Amino acid sequence: MALLALHFQNDVLHVDGKIRVGIDDEAHRSKLIDHARRLLADARNLGWLIVHVRVAFRPDYADLPRNMPIFGRVADIGAVQDGSWGADFFDTLAPLSSDREFVVTHKSISAFRGTHLDSLLRQHRIARVVAAGVATHSVVESTVRDAAEHGYDVSVVADACTAASRTAHDAALASMALMADVTTFGSDAWRVLTQPIHPTQ
């Protein structure tokens, strides 16, 4: 099992971040961060592989895909420049030094495109991935689609995701439900997913 923790970065989650997708409400932001922290803790306790996925571009944005409006906005506001505080992981959701945790940097919408994510998962004999992050309707949905296309069984933790609006969040979850199990903390599906796997199983 592997957790794909998508875009838990300062520019995305911190109150001083430049993007802050869907987290202008402080109560909502705090709940999302708490859920993400719980998700990482569960994954670590269960011994899952954890892949922390970050998006980052050169300071001059010469490597930014100019054909997509979403990335044009990133350049306009000067967000997620490689080496900057904004591109770093949010402090309480940052990777730990462990042979079970990895960082993947990408420059597209899907975490699979142009990265070694697929080969990393296959190297560790991963068959099932759990995805969560920001934003639901961009990196999460695109990564989930690619994971399913690559043959992985996929689950999405809905309450460890957020989007620019509730409508966009719900629409993305409905779309992903066609190719993944959509679950929430405390649900029956989450309890099944997080049952320890014994050597005899």
DSSP string, the chain: -EEEEE--BHHHHSTT-S--TT--SHHHHHHHHHHHHHHHHHHHHTT-EEEEEEE-B-TT-TTS-TTSHHHHHHHHHT-SBTTSTTTSBPGGGPPPSSTTEEEEEESSSSSSTTSSHHHHHHHTT--EEEEEEB-IIIIIHHHHHHHHHTT-EEEEEGGG-B-SSHHHHHHHHHHHTTTSEEE-TTSHHHHHHTSPPPTT-
Residue 189 has a pLDDT of 66
Domains located in the chain, CATH noted: 2-193 (3.40.50.850)
| Adjacent-strand bridge partners of 102 | 51
The closest alpha carbon to 5, from 122, 160, 197, belongs to 160
Query: What is the pLDDT at residue 25?
Result: 74
Q: What is the pLDDT along the chain (201 residues), one digit of tens a residue?
A: 999 999 999 999 999 999 877 666 788 888 999 999 999 999 999 999 999 999 999 999 999 998 998 898 899 999 999 999 999 999 999 999 999 999 999 999 999 999 999 999 999 999 999 999 999 999 999 999 999 999 999 999 999 999 988 999 999 999 999 999 999 876 766 677 777 654 433
The pLDDT value recorded for residue 111 is: 98
CA distance 42 to 10: 22
What pLDDT score does 169 carry? 93
